[in-house]
Amino acid sequence: NNIYLTYKGMYFWLIMMREFFKSVNYFREQCRKKIATI
């Protein structure tokens, strides 16, 4: 039972991963700002 992505699926996967890493970077930036104020 292998799962294969279509080209359209790969595109949507890429978009989801991009948004995920953008949110991680934003979260990290907010944490760094909190640490800097301590």
According to the model, what pLDDT value does residue 32 have? Answer: 95
Note if the pTM is more than 0.85: no
Whole-number pLDDT of residue 9: 96
Q: Angle at Cα 14 formed by Cα 10 and Cα 20, nearest 5°?
A: 145
pLDDT in tens, 1-38: 899 999 999 999 999 999 999 999 999 999 999 998 87
Q: What is the pLDDT of residue 38?
A: 74
The tokens 């991963």 sit on which residue? Answer: 17
Encoded tokens for 18: 């991009």
Q: What is the pLDDT of residue 1?
A: 86
Q: How far apart are CA 38 and CA 36, in angstroms?
A: 6
Specify the pLDDT at position 25: 98
